[in-house]
Amino acid sequence: MERGAKLYEGKAKVIYATADPQVVWMEFKDEATAFNGQKRGTIAGKGAVNARITGLVFEKLAAAGIPNHLVQQLSERVLLTRRVQIIPLEVVVRNIAAGSLTKRLGLAEGTKLPAPVLEFYYKNDDLGDPFVNDSHIAVLQLATPEQLQALCAYSRRINEILVPYFAAAGLELVDCKLEFGTADGEIMLADEISPDTCRFWDLTTGEKLDKDRFRRDLGNVAEAYQEVLMRLERGTAL
């Protein structure tokens, strides 16, 4: 399948049309951003690593009955996906306190939460993707009550599947950001699941193996991303 006209370019991916109006070409970039674009850089090989990780994870979720937009991995850094209308909400599922949660609630980083916490953020770059609640979502008409209920149910189920999946690779799923879209009236998981959108800590040492290495200037960023992929591929091959 050949790449067509550019439809959209974001911080981490470029979306192109294809000959099939129902399928798009999703190309992952090596560029990295943090703090709402205030920090920018490049992580060598990130695009290829994130494309492969996303492909593996989405295949795992599809096998478990979670509908998602993946069609196939076309090349090293390109996924073919169903064309969806993105619901303008990011769902963040948190298992361990980290990032903004520690600042907002005064929890120490690494505090294990007694139950997963779901948070919603309005996808709006101009506003810095602000935190929103059910009332905000209703007033802004970002999702219907039925869609919101489905997003919550899918997000909890995805977390239930991925926590043991990553644990089998020696990774603790601290938190993850999920995005969803609709196609032909069906809600499905979209975007990506990777070290860009999740926090992964080594299950034994607690070493950070995700984008926080870029955010905090911890070094060895590309190596951390590669480590996540290597562990997942090794687990898949068993």
CA proximity to 89, closest of 19, 141, 40: 141
131/146 same-domain check: yes
What would the pLDDT profile of 216-230 be if each residue is shown by its tens digit? 999 999 999 999 999
Q: Is residue 15 part of a domain?
A: yes
CB 122 within 8 A of CB 155: no
Structure tokens that stand for 229 in this block = 């992929």
106/183 same-domain check: yes
CB 229 within 8 A of CB 49: yes
CB 97 within 8 A of CB 115: no
70/116 same-domain check: no
204/155 same-domain check: yes
Structure tokens that stand for 59 in this block = 């295949």
The CATH number covering residue 56 comes to 3.30.200.20
126/25 same-domain check: no
- Percent of the chain beyond pLDDT 70? 99
- Single pTM value for the model: 0.95
72/122 same-domain check: no
CA distance linking residue 76 with residue 94, whole number of Å: 30
103/208 same-domain check: yes
162/63 same-domain check: no
Q: Is residue 132 part of a domain?
A: yes
CA proximity to 175, closest of 74, 92, 64, 67: 92
Which residue type is seen at 99? G
Q: Is residue 147 part of a domain?
A: yes
Q: Is residue 193 part of a domain?
A: yes
What would the pLDDT profile of 35-75 be if each residue is shown by its tens digit? 877 889 999 999 999 999 999 999 999 999 999 999 999 99
Q: Is residue 238 part of a domain?
A: no
Q: Give residue 36's pLDDT.
A: 78
Which residue type is seen at 172? E
Q: Which domain holds residue 65?
A: 6-82
167/106 same-domain check: yes
Q: pLDDT class for 236, splitting at 50, 70, 90?
A: low
Distance between alpha carbon 91 and the CA centroid of its chain, in Å?
9
Q: pLDDT class for 18, splitting at 50, 70, 90?
A: very high
What would the pLDDT profile of 112-158 be if each residue is shown by its tens digit? 999 999 999 999 989 999 999 999 999 999 999 999 999 999 999 99
Q: pLDDT class for 238, splitting at 50, 70, 90?
A: very low
Q: Is residue 232 part of a domain?
A: no
92/29 same-domain check: no
How many CA atoms are closer than 13 Å to the CA of 183, on its beta-carbon side?
16
Calculate mean pLDDT across residues 97-110.
96
92/173 same-domain check: yes
CA proximity to 147, closest of 227, 104, 91, 214: 91
CA distance linking residue 106 with residue 100, whole number of Å: 10
CA proximity to 47, closest of 34, 74, 28, 32: 28
Which residue type is seen at 225? Y
CA proximity to 53, closest of 234, 219, 218, 220: 234
Count the domains in the chain.
Answer: 2
Q: Is residue 21 part of a domain?
A: yes
Calculate mean pLDDT across residues 3-27.
96
52/93 same-domain check: no
Q: Give residue 1's pLDDT.
A: 84
